[in-house]
Amino acid sequence: MKILRTPDDFFKNIKGYPYHPQYTVVKTHDNCDLRIHHIDEGPKDGPILLAMHGQPVWSYLYSRMIPHLVKAGIRVIAPDLAGYGKSDKPAAREDYSYQRQVDWMNQWLVQNDFTKITFFGQDWGGLIGLRMVADNGERFDRVAMGNTGLPYSPDVPDTVVEEIQTFRQGPTKLTMASMMKQVRQMDGFGGADPHAGIRKFAYWQKYTWDTIDVPAGVIASSMIEKRNKLAVALELLMGNLGLRRISPFGSAVTKAFEAPFPSPAFKMAVRAMPSHVPSIPDPSLEAQKQAWEFFSTFEKPFLCVGAGDDPVTNGFEKLFLSKVPGTQNQPHQMIGGGHFFQWKKAKELSQILSDFIHINL
């Protein structure tokens, strides 16, 4: 397996991320060394919050929350998934799968021997992290999740599966604007048409795979801060010309979320992972079934706290509230802030999570 590593220099001068890096080496399926990065902030004897990010971002997404959580006496462990942030980046599409991401992070968890953990995950951080909880239940005391899920889709009709696969492999050319127009029309994966969300989400899956240099920084900044439309257009133009890293039009947030990717070759996880979201039946089906069997008997405290205004994950909490015993009598709530609400609602989310931890100690 070819593995890329972002030089440290690319992370210099990132605003609001002064944290000392911690590294753990795990093994890939072909016995290669894969270095996983995490930060460890707060009192060493404090209750642990394992905070996991999604795609196409990295642990920098939690940088606004960490000071609030540490002030509340919480020890924050925030890793970068393989392919993101300061973690190593496998270079080929076939290197990535849902199961491999789970396997790598399970190794990371066991090697660091974290126990009595409160989990919080969003986006892919939830998809992977919830599987980690199911695989290592004895290490977790409570679970919180937001804007994420545990997709299990055994009953999608073959006609819909074929439609999605044909579209994703087809000749339609998507831009960031045309993709986002479709995704914004989502209302989660439920609704009157149970497959409408699958169809709209396929635009994200197709766009990320077909776009060799996915503008990760622009996508993240466009979702968490107000941007001048002209500046965004010019920044995208610079990226299309291969000049993304020297663009004068990017914000500090854009640059921080683009920092892990010195070139398009480093972005294979950003491109490949959306297609592994099991919105249609795929090789993760049996593992997802087993995870749901685990959570159907999970009686430890389980909190759903999300944005409620994120078109991709609206309504994510409903299935968990109906199936997970530990959700009973918990203060579930939606607080706004969009898909990456860790940034826009940092203080509010930090308070909710710290209260959840301290009340249930």
pLDDT given for residue 239 in this prediction: 87
End-to-end Cα separation, the chain, in angstroms: 43
Q: What is the pLDDT of residue 194?
A: 83
Burial 45-68 (b: 16+ CB within 10 A, else e): ebbbbbbbbbbbbbbbbbbbbbbb
Q: Which of 95, 103, 123, 135 is catalytic?
A: 123
Q: Are 96 and 90 in contact (CB under 8 A)?
A: yes
Residue 242 shares a structural domain with residue 355: no
CA–CA gap between residue 361 and residue 350 (Å, rounded): 16
27 with 132, same domain?
yes
- Domain-terminating residue out of 257, 276, 295: 276
Predicted local distance difference test score (pLDDT) of residue 174: 97
Per-residue model confidence (pLDDT) at position 204 = 98
Please check whether residues 239 and 265 belong to one and the same domain. Answer: yes
Q: Among 276, 301, 318, where does a domain finish?
A: 276
Same domain, 215 and 78: no
> Do both 165 and 149 map to the same domain?
no
- pLDDT score at 242: 85
Chunked mean pLDDT (size 10), the chain, 361 residues: 97 94 97 98 98 98 98 98 98 97 98 98 98 98 98 95 97 95 92 88 98 96 91 88 84 95 97 96 96 98 97 96 98 97 98 96 86
**What pLDDT sits at residue 190?**
76
- The pLDDT value recorded for residue 244 is 85
Residues 99 and 126 in one domain: yes
Residue 208 domain boundaries? 158-276
Catalytic: which of 38, 53, 68, 339?
A: 339
Peptide bond into 56 cis (omega under 30): yes
Could you tell me how many residues make up the chain?
361
Does the active-site annotation cover 123? yes
Does residue 294 share a domain with residue 242? no
Same domain, 315 and 209: no
Residue 280: burial class (beta carbons within 10 Å; 0-12, 13-18, 19+): buried
310 carries an active-site annotation: yes
Instruction: Determine whether 33 is an active site residue.
Output: no
Domain count, the chain: 2
Q: Is 308 left (phi over 0), alpha (psi -120 to 50) or beta?
A: left
Q: 131 with 188, same domain?
A: no
Q: What pLDDT shows up at residue 245?
A: 80
Rounded to 5 degrees, what are φ and ψ at 35?
A: -90, 125
Asked if residue 162 and residue 230 are part of one domain, the reply reads: yes
Shared domain check, 171 and 139: no
Predicted pLDDT at 332: 98
Nearest to 126 by CA among 111, 105, 108: 105
Give the separation between CA 259 and CA 277, rounded to whole angstroms: 25
What backbone torsions phi and psi does residue 186 show, to the nearest 5 degrees? -70, 155
Q: What span, in angstroms and rounded, lies between the C-alpha atoms of 80 and 38?
A: 6
Within this chain, do residues 198 and 139 fall inside the same structural domain, yes or no? no
Question: CATH code at 295?
Answer: 3.40.50.1820
Q: Which of 80, 88, 103, 310 is catalytic?
A: 310
Q: Which of 215, 245, 276 is the last residue of a domain?
A: 276
